[in-house]
Amino acid sequence: MGLDRTAVVTAALELLDEAGLDKLTMRKVAERLGVQLNTVYWHASSKPRLLELMADTMLEGCADAPLPDPWDDRACTLAHRYRAALLSRRDGARVVAGTYVAEEHTLRFADTLTGAFLSGGHSPAEAGWRTWSLVYFTLGLTQEEQAAQGIGGMEPLLRAAAAERFPALAAVVEHFGDFEHRFQHGVGLIVRGREASA
């Protein structure tokens, strides 16, 4: 059976999980598949293109039914699915954040999320901006979350927020919460507004 694009992307995602984004190369993908390097380039013309395909594959199923009918619950569910997809792969948020994808799964997710905001009575402009805000917030938070896993979590930050040097941070440090709490609060702010997320 001939090699196809799906096999190339699958091999790349496996290598990502094993070695991380910084050590992922086209040559290693070829070695994993037991093919010549130019065969990998046939299916993904460059590493940036391979990363686009990987990022899109990670979002497969994120917009699938069933989804809640109320628009705000739907938007929150989609945000949770998005974060789960990013966390499902080593350096997943870095992969997605480093690409500008116009592929099926990514566009379907964006369309479904934007549709939720439109269903909530938001103007097209507001629906678009809320979609971008939610995506960018989730990407940024998840990048930080995955980076923190490699340095022992949030403890270095909590220790560094000393009152004598950073009084404002010290005043709120007990309310930093873990990444799950930060995510819940941020999604609530973007989707429902401050009152509902308090």
Q: What is the pLDDT of residues 70-113, one digit of tens each?
A: 999 999 999 999 999 999 999 999 999 999 999 999 999 999 99
135, two tokens: 């995506």
Cα(148)–Cα(151) distance, integer angstroms: 5
Q: For residue 76, which of 158, 198, 189, 169 has the smallest C-alpha distance?
A: 189
pLDDT in tens, 107-149: 999 999 999 999 999 999 999 999 999 999 999 999 999 998 8
Cα(144)–Cα(35) distance, integer angstroms: 36
Burial 86-112 (b: 16+ CB within 10 A, else e): beebbbbbbbbbebebeeebbebbbeb
Residue type, 60: E
Measuring CA to CA, how many Å separate 124 from each of 74, 120, 162, 165, 169? 17, 11, 44, 45, 37
Q: What is the mean pLDDT of the chain?
A: 93
pLDDT greater at residue 97 or residue 166? 97
**pLDDT value at residue 152:** 65
pTM above 0.95, yes or no: no
Cα(12)–Cα(80) distance, integer angstroms: 25
Is the predicted pLDDT of residue 196 greater than 70, yes or no? Answer: no
For residues 71 and 119, is the Cβ–Cβ distance under 8 A?
yes
Burial of 62 (0-12, 13-18, 19+ CB in 10 A): buried
Mean pLDDT in residue range 154-170: 79
State the DSSP code for 123: -
Reduce the DSSP state of residue 62 to 3 states and report it.
Answer: coil
Is the predicted pLDDT of residue 61 greater than 50, yes or no? Answer: yes
Provide the pLDDT confidence category of residue 151 given band limits of 50, 70 and 90: low
Mean pLDDT in residue range 167-196: 86
**pLDDT value at residue 1:** 47
Is the predicted pLDDT of residue 153 greater than 80, yes or no? Answer: no
Reduce the DSSP state of residue 152 to 3 states and report it.
Answer: coil
